Amino acid sequence: MSSPIHVNDSIQAIDDTSWLTGEKILLSRQPAPPTNPNQPSWSDGRGAFFVLSNAPSPLPQCEAHPADSTELPRVYAVGDQSAVWRAGEAFIKAQNLTHPKRTREHTTLEFLQSKELFDFKIPHVLYHGEWDARYYMIVSRVPGQTLIEAWPTMDEELRQYYVHRVADLCTKMAEWKGEAICGVDGGKLTELYLSKGKGVDPDILKKNCMGMGMDVSCLVFYHCDLRPGNILVEPDNNRGIGIIDWETAGYVPREWVRTKFHLSSGMDFPDVEDMQKKSDWRRLVSRRLAEMGITEAINGWVTFQDV
């Protein structure tokens, strides 16, 4: 049995209008959507459609798909763990299942859709599947610019608006309570900042959080990765906002909401040399959360790392 292809090579080119995904799914560009409404399809943004179907057997001849392709560019990659491609008005995600029992992102997105009580945009799940210890998901594109792109052109009033908006959303989502530090379906929560390399079982995360001085009797829903690249804004469209990448969302101690902003350099603006400006986003949101009465456990977290 051959070894699975590298996650970065999950999409391979067949010809100019068709691609093989995960050596199992056929992605093709067609002039019209499929007649079967249950067959996954979406706009390519140029008048045609991407359509998903099962790959033929035997598999067609393929060649490597370049990461900088104008048709399906790879927009994100993390070593040999995960990769993301833009396909018209959707994104294709491939991820190695390092933690097989983790909550899947499509499950979290379906949970959010069921709420029907929020006023921000999230991706819609177009397809999901897993095989060969790899998870695949296709989601719709959320409109807008990332905060990384929009922040430099914003005036101070608009920046403060979005700081307050995200802080408000954090507190609203915190009204959804859980009974364990886990995903929305009870699966493992891969918030590695809480694991200290000891695994992500709910009982382990609970013990760790107690060691950090957090109150584990109040567990709230939290995105856990509200970096500028995961927030889409539409300042000229009723100041709209969208949030993407929910793979580490789940129930955590309330203090973790602010603590994560306080300590995670992953929430900084990339490619900014000025250290003050680089951390503007997480610093301002943390400050706003403090004004709203959200406490933090940064000292406990730091001390726990040294134990």
Q: What is the pLDDT of residue 119?
A: 86
Residue with the bigger pLDDT between 230 and 71: it is: 230
Domain that holds residue 298: 145-306
**Burial class, 227, CB count within 10 angstroms (exposed 0-12 / middle 13-18 / buried 19+):** buried
Residues 59-71: pLDDT tens digits?
999 999 999 999 8
Is residue 73 domain-shared with residue 218, that is, in the same domain?
Answer: no
pLDDT at 2 over 80: no
Tokens of 222: 């939290």
pLDDT of residue 307: 75
Domain boundary among 110, 140, 170: 140
Q: Are residues 95 and 122 in the same domain?
A: yes
Which residue reads 């695949």 in tokens?
136
CA distance 221 to 302: 23
Q: pLDDT confidence of 3, banded at 50, 70, 90?
A: low
Mean pLDDT of 180-197: 96
Judge whether residue 285 has pLDDT over 60: yes
CA distance 81 to 167: 30
Whether 270 contacts 148, CB under 8 Å: yes
Say if residue 115 is in the same domain as residue 149.
Answer: no
Q: What is the per-residue pLDDT for 190?
A: 96
Q: What amino acid occupies position 244?
A: I
pLDDT classification of 4: cutoffs 50, 70, 90: confident
* 92 within a domain of the structure (yes/no): yes
Contact 177, 222 (CB under 8 A): no
Q: Are residues 97 and 183 in the same domain?
A: no
In this structure, are 296 and 149 located in the same domain?
A: yes
Report the number of distinct structural domains present in the chain: 2
Q: What is the mean pLDDT of residues 221-247?
A: 97
pLDDT at 1: 40
**pLDDT > 70: percent of the chain:** 99
pLDDT of 178 strictly over 50: yes
Choose one of 99, 121, 140: the last residue of a domain. Answer: 140
Q: Give the CA distances from residue 205 to residues 154, 195, 198, in Å, rounded to whole numbers and listed in that order.
A: 38, 6, 9
Of 122, 140, 158, which marks where a domain is finished?
Answer: 140
pLDDT at 180 over 70: yes
**Average pLDDT in the chain:** 95
Give the residue-averaged pLDDT of 93-101. Answer: 95
Residue 2 lies in a domain: no
Q: Look at residue 20 and give its three-state secondary structure.
A: strand
Same domain, 214 and 291: yes
For the chain, give the percent of residues with pLDDT over 90.
93
Are residues 127 and 208 part of one domain? no
Read off the pLDDT of residues 6-35 as tens digits, 9 standing for 90 and up: 999 999 999 999 999 999 999 999 999 999
- Judge if 84 and 123 occupy the same domain: yes
Which of 26-41 are b and which e, b meaning 16 or more Cβ less than 10 Å from the residue's Cβ? bbebeeeeeeeeeebb
